[in-house]
Amino acid sequence: MLKNSSILITGGTGSFGKKFVDMTLKKYNPKNIIVFSRDEMKQWDMAEKYSDDPRVKFIIGDVRDRDRLSRSLDTVDFVVHAAATKIVPTAEYNPFECVKTNINGAMNLIDSCIDKKIKKVVALSTDKASNPINLYGATKLASDKLFVAGSSHLGFDKTQFSVVRYGNVMGSRGSVIPFFLKKRDTGILPITDERMTRFMISLEEGVKLVWHAFEDMLGGEIYVKKIPSMKILDIAKAVAPSAKHEIIGIRPGEKLHEQMIGVEDAPYTFENEDYFKILPAIHNWSKDKNRIKNGIKVPENFLYSSDKNGKWMTSSELAIWIEENIDKTL
């Protein structure tokens, strides 16, 4: 599907964007990939890597600016929406800015994609959007709802929208592993709470889930990858086995445990081999066999949370991953 196509990725200079561009160029050989982002220095650095590849193009812009975003979508077939204000404490202290990017930006993209007759759009979400207690999660839940509802607009050649929901992306900027890596030489790692758990997913797995969404989607789906959990103390052990721990308390907006599917979503959730699919309650799409496909409906009280996960990553497994990917995470 993506072969010989034109793809635009918002927030394309972030950790996910860089991995998506690299992997998609190699696997699908698209006609071009347009990196749309607002940081000119990050674009400058990224452009050096692809200076000899005419398939990669760069546009300075902000999803808050609908006119600029709309103009950038000319000739585009598919869109990946990765732009976000995502640092939880930052969002708590700067709520209006978070809303402008994560909600208003999503609305701008949805309207622009419909107007430009984009074929398919996949938006990145987060485990914090399920039963949110912080502003970041609340804005991403609103964003998810907007993208799901976007597929119900009228029109013959309508744009299809779907969402992929991740846990903690290993090695991404602002995540716990790079933070611990920067702190380990001090011999002390700050721990918010010893009981804390998190879902873990690699950038590569995240990219592959987006690919799958493009292939599988009819519009309105939320895809949730089956991924392992880790205890925060095991993450610390993997990064710096001999470091001491300093308990600093939970930061504003943080949870002890994250969830990606709540019991409220269970009636609309279907299990597949490697992922779950949450279907919309609107339009009876949760009963649409074309959307359900081979999925098996989960139990009524189903909950997919990081502390009750049946799949766990050990500190030794993470240590191996860090050793193999350390240059990418710093």
Question: How many residues can be counted in the chain?
Answer: 330
Q: Specify whether 158 is catalytic.
A: no
Q: Which residues, other chains included, contact 324 with Cβ-Cβ below 8 Å and sequence gap of 6+? A: none
Task: Say whether pLDDT at 52 is over 90.
Answer: yes
Q: What percentage of the chain has pLDDT greater than the value 90? A: 85
pLDDT band for position 330 (cuts 50, 70, 90): very low
Angstrom CA distances, 299 to 2, 130, 296, 302, stand at: 35, 18, 10, 5
Pick the catalytic residue from 18, 120, 128, 277. 128
Evaluate whether 261 touches 278 at the Cβ level (below 8 Å): yes
Domains, the chain: 6-166+201-226+260-302 (3.40.50.720)
Reported as a single tens digit per residue, the pLDDT across 65-120 is: 999 999 999 999 999 999 999 889 899 999 999 999 999 999 999 999 999 999 99
C-alpha–C-alpha distance, residues 71 and 6, integer Å: 14
With contact defined as beta carbons under 8 Å apart, do 239 and 177 qualify?
yes
pLDDT tens column, 273-299? 999 999 998 889 999 999 999 999 999
pTM: 0.95
Smallest CA-to-CA distance from 3 within 211, 159, 210 is with: 211
DSSP string covering 225-261, please?
A: E---EEEHHHHHHHH-TT-EEEE--PPTT--SS-EEE
C-alpha span between 306 and 256 (Å, rounded): 9
What are φ and ψ of residue 226, in 5° steps? -75, 115
Side-chain half-sphere CA neighbours of 215 within 13 A: 8
**Nearest residue to 239 (alpha-carbon basis) of 319, 163, 127:** 319
Q: Tokens representing 250?
A: 């939970």
* Strand (E) or helix (H) holding 98: helix 95-99
| Per-residue 3-state assignment (H helix, E strand, C coil) for 269-305 | EEECCCEEEECCCHHHHHHCHHHHCCCEECCCCCCEE
